[in-house]
Chain A
Amino acid sequence: MNQIQRLGRATIDTLERLGRATLFLLRVLRATRTLTGRFRLVVQQVYSVGVMTLVIVLVSGLFVGFVLGLQGYNTLVRYGAESSLGLLVALSLTRELGPVVTALLFAGRAGSALAAEIGLMKTTEQLAGMEMMAVDPMERIVAPRFVAGVIAMPLLAAIFSVVGVFGGYLVGVGLMGVDGGLFWSQMRSGVGIYNDVLGGVVKSVVFGVIVTWIAVFEGYDAQPTAEGVGRATTRTVVTSSLAVLGLDFIMTALMMRGL
């Protein structure tokens, strides 16, 4: 009986949390309307969310491209199809790795920082202080961060993909001796603008919304203690990583069916 009660309580807690998160998202979306006159706030957040994440995205993209080039070459050369290396690298990056790996890095680098920042503001009662001064923390703190995350994520994913293709080119053509012209022409004939590039962009926008939403919600919903902020940060990274991977599967399945 105790076990059943515990299961029921866990379910109710989860649902309640989900409901709170949804209501929170609606409030954030409503607060974004007030940003039109205060775009400077968003610019500041794009800096801390996007520009600060750029370095890790660039380095990871380059190395993912290197590895794809090496691995792809070793597999393809067995079938004498090493000229398709460019296609393999570009398709893997634009469709899957670009959006997904960028979202995971984004959750780790920017999401955790967002959650910790907002959580600490709540703990030190800065949010309450703002409300006292009739400044809505939703409009002033949360909405700019949310919009900045949604703007930054697709840009980061695109940069990741391009750098990755470049990395694959360096390894494939520079190191392994694949023909450079074939690398690009195979890539260009095989990668479609709608299915592959646009699909990847749609994915990265969705991931941007999901990761930033989870981050700001966890921060805003954190227990106002040092431990609570820590837990919110951890939960942001874990939840958003799982959400990204799960949603990626669903979106890939939907896009593949649409082909």
Chain B
Amino acid sequence: MAQSKVLEVAVGLFVIAGIAALATLALKISNLHSIGPSRGYDVKAYFNDIGGLKSEAPVTMAGVRIGHVASIYFDKKRYQAVTVLHIQAKYNTIPVDTSASILTQGLLGEQYVSLSPGGSTQYLKNGSKITMTQSAMVLEQVIGQFLFHKAAEGEQQQPQSPGAPGLPAAPATP
């Protein structure tokens, strides 16, 4: 009888350890917010270009995470990307003239949506739309613009530079 008691205690401990491990996986290791219909409200934000934004990306205000991107789809009438932002219920005093921008954590990090509050006294609620948005910074476009700008600058400076023909022009100092 004592033998079987030890055995049963061991099995009980094993099952507890296993369930604790499952709970750890769910609560500590993964982002649990996506389970079930969490309380909060959905706001739509229209962007011209979302870059590499993905659903489940954080939505922040002043750097604090207040929600996440629930879904992303394409609006075929407006030719814009629609992001559904799920904001936690406790942040219910966000002005309607809030603007949204897609930013990147670090140079190559994950993209997220940052909200900057406006001054209105009316607040965003479920189904509200944010149309004041700033698109994602696409690295290629930025580099392209930078190069274009540099080239234009160089053309302007060309006639002024007194470089003798045949000699390489002195590098322009910014």
Contact B25 A197 (CB under 8 A): yes
Instruction: Assess whether B17 is in contact with A188, with CB atoms less than 8 Å apart.
Output: no
A151→B29 CA distance, assembly (Å): 22
Task: Check: A155 CB closer than 8 A to any chain B CB.
Answer: yes
CB contact list, B80-132 vs A, under 8 A: 110
Q: Give the one of B8, B24, B30, B110 with max A CB within 10 A.
A: B30
Contact stretch, chosen from A42-50, A67-75, A214-222, A237-245: A42-50
Q: Which residues of chain A have C-beta atoms less than 8 A from B19's C-beta?
A: 155
**Residue numbers in B under 8 Å from A134 (CB-CB):** none
Q: Which DSSP category, helix, strand, loop or mixed, fits chain B's interface?
A: helix
Nearest-CB distance from B8 to chain A (Å)? Answer: 6
In chain A, what residue has the closest Cβ to B35?
A: A193
Among B15, B18, B24, B31, the residue within 8 A (CB) of A193 is B31
**Which chain B residue has the least Cβ–Cβ distance from A191?**
B30
B147: interface (CB < 8 Å)? no
CB of A104 within 8 A of chain B?
A: no
Do residues A192 and B11 form an inter-chain contact, with CB atoms below 8 A?
Answer: no
Query: Given the complex of chains A and B, what is the CA–CA distance between A257 and B162 in angstroms?
Result: 63
Q: Among residues 8 to 62 in chain B, which have CB atoms less than 8 Å away from a CB atom of chain A?
A: 8, 10-11, 14-15, 17-19, 21-22, 24-26, 28-32, 34-35, 56, 58
Cβ contact within 8 Å between A188 and B56 = no
Contact B25 A161, beta carbon cutoff 8 Å? yes
Which of A51, A152, A165 has the largest number of chain B CB atoms within 10 A?
A: A51
Q: Which residue of A lies closest to B25 (CB)?
A: A197
Q: A47-B10, A51-B11, A155-B17 are in contact. Are A191 and B22 (CB under 8 A)?
A: no
Q: Is the CB of B22 within 8 A of A155?
A: yes
A192 pairs with B10, CB closer than 8 A? no
Within 8 Å by CB of B110, from A94, A189, A192, A193, lies A189
Our pick among A46, A94, A193, A194 for the contact of B11 (Cβ within 8 Å) is A46
Considering residues B19, B22, B26, which has the most beta carbons from chain A within 10 angstroms of its beta carbon? Answer: B22
The answer to whether A188 touches B31 (Cβ under 8 A) is yes
User: Given A43, A90, A158, A184, which contacts B22 in the complex, CB threshold below 8 Å?
Assistant: A158
User: Which residues does chain A contribute within 8 Å of B8, judged by CB atoms?
Assistant: 43
Once the chains are docked, how many angstroms separate the CA of A189 from the CA of B33? 10
Show the binding face of B for A, using Cβ within 8 Å: 4, 7-8, 10-11, 14-15, 17-19, 21-22, 24-26, 28-32, 34-35, 56, 58, 110
Known: A51-B10, A193-B30. 8 other contacts (CB 8 A): A50-B14, A51-B11, A54-B14, A155-B19, A161-B25, A188-B31, A194-B35, A197-B25
